[in-house]
Amino acid sequence: MSPINVRRWSWIHKWSSLVCTVFMLLLCLTGLPLIYHHEIGHLLGNDVEAPSMPANTPRADLDRVIAAGQALYPNKIMMYMSQELDEPAIWNLTLGNHPNDEQFKSIAIDARTAKFIAEPPIEGGGFMSLMFHLHVDLFADMWGKLFLGFMGLLLLVAIVSGVVLYAPFMRKLDFGTVRRGRTARLKWLDMHNMLGIVTLVWLLVVGTTGVINTLSDVLLKVWQFTEIAEMTKPYQGQPAPTRLASMQTTIARAEAAEPGMKVGFVAFPGTPFASPHHYGVYMHGDQALTSRLYKPVLVDAQTAEITDRRKLPWYLTALLVSQPLHFGDYGGAGLKFLWALLDLATIVVLGSGLYLWLKRGRAAKAAARQAASDNAGRAAPVLARGHKL
């Protein structure tokens, strides 16, 4: 690589890194506890568990389940109901004053007895909520997400430029060499380069998935204004139903239409994942990957007839795959531990990069002062001779 190209890539690497480093450090520090958010939630006692019953205990009618939740908050309406694969004995109900209520109530109802279990804490405060919002949107909603997405793009630029510079830098050194007998700055430079290459693939994966995740609000809006609008077009102009169809019938028909799939969550009419005239029944598989991929089934909220069902567009599939991959949620405890180690290594990479820049700045200033002092020293005898003259 020519000296000009090296200087150009060095400039790109330096400034793309410097602009995003502080924010990437914040994301790494907040991301570390989020990798273990399930485990931390369990330690904090936030998990809700259903009473122990025989495995063959029959499930309650879903309309009874909904009625049990509404009995606790009779002035609120149903927004969503969902079920986790690892806890099929619980239906989680979300109720609010209107379909887009952000001050909703979350209720856990036993799927077998239709009895109230608990009201799980809503993430409105506390340590994990703070970590989540700092990591996801900086408490600035969509604009915070888009800003962090831009920082993620700069990180990807820094990674690519760092790889380009790594080859000529390591031409005379063995891979992973850390020169310890020289200056501290040189040792940290070698450490920065070595850990940067070791974490390269992980950084690309986490950086790319992170950028995709920051676009979640935009991608959902695109989907709602395109495919959902197309799926519900025949209902435009019609009044919203005044009486909703049986949820038991609705779920039974959705499961019959998609054999081998399970209900992930149901969006009630008027919510962002449905329409004013439909239930949105979102089905998924039962494997590590397919459990993250949803297939929407739109059901007429008045007649319980299926009106449309189709696969999600590619951009939403990419989003749904990116979300768990970003936090290492696919491979159990082993993958989470690896994610945590690589996160810590990335903190060292970012911190050492910042240290090297600060150290180089001080060295440059010291060199400039020394050069000025040397020039002054050389000029003094000349001025003295001139004065004598």
Task: Provide the residue-wise pLDDT of the chain in tens; the chain has 389 residues.
Answer: 666 687 888 899 889 988 999 999 999 999 999 999 888 877 877 778 888 999 889 999 999 999 999 999 999 999 999 998 878 899 999 999 999 998 899 999 999 999 999 988 765 557 888 899 999 999 999 999 999 999 999 999 998 988 888 766 666 666 556 666 667 777 777 777 777 777 888 999 999 999 999 999 999 999 989 998 899 999 988 898 889 999 999 999 999 999 989 999 999 999 989 999 999 999 998 776 778 889 999 999 999 999 999 889 999 999 988 988 888 877 678 888 999 999 998 998 888 888 888 877 565 455 555 555 555 555 445 444 544 43
- Residue 389: the pLDDT is 37
Q: So what's the pLDDT on residue 388?
A: 46
Q: What is the DSSP string of 28-94?
A: HHHHHHHHTHHHHHHHTT----PPP--TTPPPPPHHHHHHHHHHHSTTSEEEEEEEETTEEEEEEEE
What 222-229 contacts at long range (C-beta under 8 Å, 24+ apart), as own/partner pairs, is 222/315, 223/312, 223/313, 223/315, 223/316, 224/272, 226/313, 227/310, 227/313, 228/275
Phi, psi (degrees; rounded to nearest 5) at 163: -65, -40
β partners of residue 299: 279, 306
Q: 121 phi and psi, to 5 degrees?
A: -65, 135
